[in-house]
């Protein structure tokens, strides 16, 4: 089916042009010149991808990150110039040279390890960031607070302990001469989801960053890290929650927002409900349902699902305008969970990702944009389509940033 057929609205012509190869010259220029500013000295958004904990966990043969030079060279060839990784701050702070035993978050997904694994973080972290720096790839730091055999993350008893772990982590990176390679620091992924922040008491969940315990925790942790690193862009990435909360609560102590936006989560997760997918972690039935239903469900109502995605992007663009804060998005645009699997095709997912990328880029509110949350070597069906990545990253790296966002800690680091 013609990919352009589904692209509608203001973004259609630009996306279709990119898919036709009209931006290939820009892609070539971006790859050759990386951070070079255009006439007038203005900067463009970074093309970022989420490599979370896979960068160090997935190092067995065939896992995708056994050869960092190869993975990073392939990344640059596709036009990306930033990655988001987990430095495991709670483990680094406890013992930076220990070999840690990690337990799987799932066995249905391809992020990280599907079974028990062991990692040693130093000197691995320094080596990886150094290789990024050599290539002009900036590194966003985030953490999923992975569970080790002693469940060390549960020693985080409050924002002071969290901040102390991050300061120790940044100190190690600084002392290795690599702090200038860091784009920003996210103190917790999708805060305060109980998968990644089970230590928060009373327990809260995804989207509930506006609850009292969180509203006390976040500014305290940010302030303590900022005392030691005043020029570091800081935030907690959050699942969406109530959009109105972004206007009610003062988040000016953040330097940026990292909203994770997918078509599949619009309308309270309507698409996944229609397909019978419920984020199963250790049960294949969710992927069986996706295999049988997902592509057909999308193709039956493409414009409807696209409109939901565009609406989600517009909602955060409006948040950015009203509170004056820049955005990045590192997890996006089509479906949350997906992989190379029987009966799962990538074409319709890529179609949504082009639309999401183009629409976000057109708003001027994003300072870093991902193409999807599958832009990693282990997702072979997505990764091998080099031309697709080059065209998408050309859209990102030629986008304009709104004039009022051309300042601040994050913009300086672009």
Going by pLDDT thresholds of 50, 70 and 90, the confidence category of residue 41 is: low
Going by pLDDT thresholds of 50, 70 and 90, the confidence category of residue 14 is: very low
User: Residue 198 region, left (φ>0) first, then alpha (ψ -120 to 50), else beta?
Assistant: alpha
Beta strands in 265-351 (DSSP E): 327-329, 332-333
Are 49 and 329 in contact, with CB atoms under 8 Å apart? no
> Residue 170 pLDDT more than 50?
yes
Structural domain containing residue 105: 3-413
* Residues 251-263 pLDDT 10s: 999 999 999 999 9
* Residues 60-111 pLDDT 10s: 999 999 999 999 999 999 999 999 999 999 999 999 999 999 999 999 999 9
Q: How far apart are CA 339 and CA 111, in angstroms?
A: 10
DSSP one-letter string for 99-156: EEEE--S-SSS-SS-SS-EEEE-TTHHHHHHHHHHHTT-EEEE------BTT-GGGG-
Percentage of the chain surpassing pLDDT 90?
Answer: 88
Are 119 and 152 in contact, with CB atoms under 8 Å apart? no
Q: How far apart are CA 227 and CA 33, in angstroms?
A: 35
Question: What's the domain count of the chain?
Answer: 1
CATH number (domain holding residue 105) = 3.20.20.80
């Amino acid at each position: 089916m013609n990919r352009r057929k589904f692209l509608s609205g203001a973004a259609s012509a630009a996306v279709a042009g990119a898919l036709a190869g009209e931006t290939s010259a820009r892609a070539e220029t971006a790859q050759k010149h990386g951070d070079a500013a255009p006439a007038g000295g203005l900067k463009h958004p970074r093309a970022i991808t989420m490599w979370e904990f896979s960068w160090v966990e997935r190092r067995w043969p065939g896992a995708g990150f056994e050869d960092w030079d190869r993975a990073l060279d392939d990344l640059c060839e596709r036009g990306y110039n930033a990655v988001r990784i987990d430095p495991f701050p709670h483990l680094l702070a406890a013992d930076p040279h220990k070999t840690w035993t990690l337990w799987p978050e799932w066995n249905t997904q391809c992020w990280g390890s599907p079974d028990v694994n062991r990692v040693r973080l130093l000197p691995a972290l320094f080596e990886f960031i150094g290789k990024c720096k050599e290539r002009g790839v900036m590194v966003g730091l985030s953490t999923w607070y992975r569970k080790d055999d002693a469940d060390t993350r549960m020693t985080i008893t409050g924002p002071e302990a969290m901040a102390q772990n991050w300061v120790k982590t940044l100190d190690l990176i600084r002392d290795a001469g690599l702090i200038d390679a860091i784009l920003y620091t996210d103190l917790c992924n999708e805060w305060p989801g109980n998968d990644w922040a089970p230590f928060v008491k009373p327990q809260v969940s995804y989207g509930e960053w506006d609850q009292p315990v969180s509203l006390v925790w976040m500014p305290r942790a940010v302030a303590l890290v900022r005392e030691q690193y005043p020029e570091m862009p800081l935030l907690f990435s959050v699942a969406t929650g109530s959009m109105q909360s972004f206007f009610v609560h003062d988040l000016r102590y953040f330097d940026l927002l990292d909203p994770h936006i997918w078509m599949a989560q619009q309308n309270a997760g309507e698409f996944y409900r229609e397909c019978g997918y419920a984020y199963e972690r250790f049960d294949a039935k969710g992927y069986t349902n996706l295999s049988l239903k997902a592509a057909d469900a999308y193709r039956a109502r493409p414009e409807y699902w696209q409109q939901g995605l565009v609406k989600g992007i517009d909602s955060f663009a409006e948040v950015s305008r009203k509170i004056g804060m820049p955005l990045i998005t590192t997890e996006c645009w089509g479906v949350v969970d997906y992989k190379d699997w029987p009966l799962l095709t990538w074409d319709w997912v890529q179609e949504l990702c082009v639309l999401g990328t183009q629409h976000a880029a057109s708003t001027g509110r994003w300072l870093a944009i991902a193409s999807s949350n599958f832009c990693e070597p282990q997702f072979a069906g997505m990764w091998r389509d080099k031309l697709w990545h080059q065209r998408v990253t050309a859209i990102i790296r030629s986008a304009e940033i709104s004039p009022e966002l051309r300042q601040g800690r994050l913009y300086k680091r672009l």
